[in-house]
Amino acid sequence: AQSVTQLGSHVSVSEGALVLLRCNYSSSVPPYLFWYVQYPNQGLQLLLKYTSAATLVKGINGFEAEFKKSETSFHLTKPSAHMSDAAEYFCAVSTNDMRFGAGTRLTVKP
């Protein structure tokens, strides 16, 4: 069975600052990993996914994530936050069954 832990239910950054959202996973087999974003009252949209081709994965809207097997982590980063990045972010792990973390709400201050 696999699981995901997102550290920090709420992260606040200033506009232009680095965004770092943390995700650790547990899986008995090599997993596929995903980050999704959710804007208020909407569904989730795929930001990026890791499928073992490369450990550094680039996604949409300037986000990227690095797969670190030794740390069982898949943290999401963006060098410079924009007001439009304010949303909830979900990390997910999948072998044949996708499991989501509890989510991290990102607030961007002007």
Partner 1 sequence: DGGITQSPKYLFRKEGQNVTLSCEQNLNHDAMYWYRQDPGQGLRLIYYSQIVNDFQKGDIAEGYSVSREKKESFPLTVTSAQKNPTAFYLCASSIMRDSGNSPLHFGNGTRLTVT
- The contact set with partner 1 (CB under 8 A) reads 9, 31-32, 34, 36, 41-46, 49, 51, 90, 94-98, 100-103
Minimum gap (Å) between residue 88 Cβ and partner 1: 10
Minimum gap (Å) between residue 79 Cβ and partner 1: 24
Alpha carbon of 99 to those of 19, 22, 96, 110: distances in Å? Answer: 23, 16, 10, 33
Alpha carbon of 88 to those of 21, 27, 36, 63, 109: distances in Å? Answer: 10, 24, 8, 14, 15
Minimum gap (Å) between residue 93 Cβ and partner 1: 9
- For residues 77 and 20, is the Cβ–Cβ distance under 8 A? yes
Minimum gap (Å) between residue 33 Cβ and partner 1: 10
User: Which residue's CB is nearer to partner 1, number 4 or number 110?
Assistant: 4
User: Which residue's CB is nearer to partner 1, number 70 or number 96?
Assistant: 96
Sort residue 107 into left (φ over 0), alpha (ψ -120 to 50) or beta: beta
User: Which residue's CB is nearer to partner 1, number 43 or number 110?
Assistant: 43
